[in-house]
């Protein structure tokens, strides 16, 4: 019995370690999902707040449908993420229920063994059989072995008692954890039902908007094309300015220490360091506004109203609050401040051979040649008086080649 106890301890220890790894990985996954869910919740709150602020403004059908589609997308992600959490909690609950059942069975056996040992020990004391057991030994060596056995038996009793205590505490803790998990799952389900109602309302509103738009599809198609043409005109001007800056850079930096990059810029040693630091912070750059959410992503994509039409976006559009300040996302130098006809001011900041572009400003606080630092206020976002929308267009490029800002800005 005493020899069997050691391998049994090893098996129990191994089982404990395996369970600990399982619980740790599950809790890490739960934390990851909860962190992401909190981000989505904050984004929903930002959308609701901005929509509430602009509620009295008369928005165009195009703007409403785009705003509605983005909100539906965020709500849908939130619901899916919450379902993942609920499913993971279900697995945790099932695991703990099995663990509780196993612990109860183990405790039942342990207590029965312990009770039998105590009865046997009590009887041994009453009959003074321990002394007789020692005295009946044939020699000193056998008596010594019997004494050692009695000590081991006593120790085993103590160990059994401690094991029962630990198992009982584990059972109580698991029961408490199970109750917490069941309550957490209940709250997730309740919250999900509320978000589901909001999602259904948004989808219904979107369907009504789409019906109204389809009645005048040709008019809206013309508006979409006109907006794309205007965006293309602005992008072409930005492209021209960048090419001029490249030419100017190559002409200025002709020394032996200057290095021409693949983008065409001739970089000084200082500019090379700046570009390297910019790249090193990819995925960690701050947002160009304090509060906001992306309403239009990067790249060529079907228009949310008319799938036969496409939107070519060289950057992202960020909805923010009225009076929002524009922040430089990294150290650099103001390459240009563009003021085009019928277009709100645009600021371009150069970071070595990379550029960040901030469009649709109402106020500009910097001028060409100014050195800027990370999160420095460089202007203010324009607010459309007719619909109350405050939208910043933001893009990143290496020379004239644009890149997805979502890959560069933290949690975009």
Looking up residue 106, the CATH number of its domain turns out to be: 1.10.287
* Residues 170 and 275 placed together within one structural domain of the fold: no
C-alpha distances in Å from residue 113, one per residue of 3, 101, 118, 149, 191: 16, 19, 9, 18, 48
Is the residue at 139 inside a domain?
yes
- Asked whether residue 48 falls in the same domain as residue 178, the answer is yes
Model pLDDT, residue 119: 63
**Could you tell me if 144 and 272 lie in one domain?**
no
Better-scored residue on pLDDT, 201 or 151:
201
In a domain, 412, yes or no: no
CB 72 within 8 A of CB 51: no
Same domain, 108 and 202: yes
Q: Are residues 102 and 196 in the same domain?
A: yes
Please tell me which residue, 258 or 356, carries the higher pLDDT value. 356
Q: Which helix (H) or strand (E) holds 267?
A: strand 266-267
Residue 256 confidence class, pLDDT cut points 50, 70, 90: very low
Give counts: helices (H), strands (E), the chain.
6, 15
At residue 388 the predicted structure's pLDDT band, cuts being 50, 70 and 90, is confident
Residue 265: CATH number of its domain:
2.70.70.10
Q: Is position 163 within any domain? A: yes
**Residue ending a domain, choose from 215, 248, 282:** 215
Considering only CA atoms, which of 325, 313, 373 is closest in space to residue 349? 373
Mean pLDDT on 174-187: 83
Confidence class of residue 348 from pLDDT cuts 50, 70 and 90? very high
Shared-domain flag, residues 191 and 294: no
For residue 358, list its beta bridge partners: 347, 394
Tell whether 194 and 233 lie within a shared domain. Answer: no
One domain for residues 276 and 143: no
Contact status, residue 390 vs residue 300, Cβ threshold 8 Å: no
- Asked whether residue 357 is domain-assigned, the answer is yes
Domain co-membership, 316 together with 391: yes
Query: Total domain count for the chain?
Result: 2
Q: Which two tokens stand for residue 229?
A: 């043409």
Both 357 and 312 in one domain: the answer is yes
pLDDT of residue 145: 74
Residue with the bigger pLDDT between 218 and 133: it is 218
Within-domain flag for 260: yes
Q: Closest Cα partner for 402 from 230, 228, 242, 233? A: 242
Identify the domain containing residue 285 by its residue range: 224-407
| 331 & 188 share domain | no
Whether residues 18 and 125 fall in one domain: yes
- Determine which of 211-215, 324-328, 335-339 has the lowest per-residue pLDDT on average: 211-215
């Amino acid at each position: 019995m005493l020899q069997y106890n050691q391998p049994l301890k090893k098996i129990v220890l191994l089982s404990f370690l395996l369970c600990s790894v399982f619980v740790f990985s599950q809790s890490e996954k739960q934390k990851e999902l909860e962190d992401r869910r909190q981000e989505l919740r904050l984004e929903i709150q930002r959308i609701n707040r901005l929509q509430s602020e602009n509620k009295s403004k008369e928005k165009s059908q195009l703007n409403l449908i785009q705003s509605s589609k983005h909100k539906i997308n965020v709500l849908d992600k939130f619901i899916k993420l919450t379902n993942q959490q609920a499913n993971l909690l279900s697995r945790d609950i099932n695991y703990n229920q099995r663990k509780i059942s196993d612990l109860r069975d183990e405790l039942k056996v342990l207590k029965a063994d312990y009770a039998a040992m105590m009865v046997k020990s009590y009887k041994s004391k009453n009959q003074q059989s321990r002394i007789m057991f020692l005295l009946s030994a044939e020699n000193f060596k056998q008596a010594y072995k019997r004494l050692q056995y009695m000590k081991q038996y006593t120790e085993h009793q103590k160990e059994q008692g401690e094991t029962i205590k630990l198992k009982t505490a584990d059972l109580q803790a698991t029961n408490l954890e199970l109750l917490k998990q069941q309550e957490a799952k209940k709250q997730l389900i309740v919250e999900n039902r509320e978000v589901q109602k909001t999602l259904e309302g948004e989808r219904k509103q979107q369907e009504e908007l789409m019906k109204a738009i389809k009645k005048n599809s040709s008019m809206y198609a013309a508006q979409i094309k006109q907006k794309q043409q205007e965006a293309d005109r602005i992008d072409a001007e930005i492209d021209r300015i960048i090419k001029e800056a490249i030419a100017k850079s190559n002409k200025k930096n002709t020394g032996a220490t200057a290095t021409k990059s693949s983008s065409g810029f001739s970089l000084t040693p200082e500019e090379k360091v700046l570009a390297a630091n910019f790249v090193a912070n990819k995925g960690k750059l701050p947002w160009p506004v304090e509060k906001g959410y992306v309403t239009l992503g990067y790249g060529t994509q079907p228009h949310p109203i008319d799938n036969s039409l496409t939107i070519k976006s060289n950057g992202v559009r960020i909805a923010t609050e009225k009076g929002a300040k524009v922040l430089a996302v990294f150290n650099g130098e103001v390459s240009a401040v563009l003021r085009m006809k019928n277009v709100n001011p645009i600021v371009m900041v150069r970071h070595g051979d990379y550029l960040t572009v901030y469009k649709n400003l109402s106020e500009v606080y910097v001028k060409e040649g100014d050195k800027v630092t990370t999160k420095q206020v460089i202007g203010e976002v324009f607010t459309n008086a007719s619909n109350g929308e405050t939208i910043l267009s933001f893009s990143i490029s290496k020379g004239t080649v644009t890149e997805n800002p979502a890959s560069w800005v933290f949690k975009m």
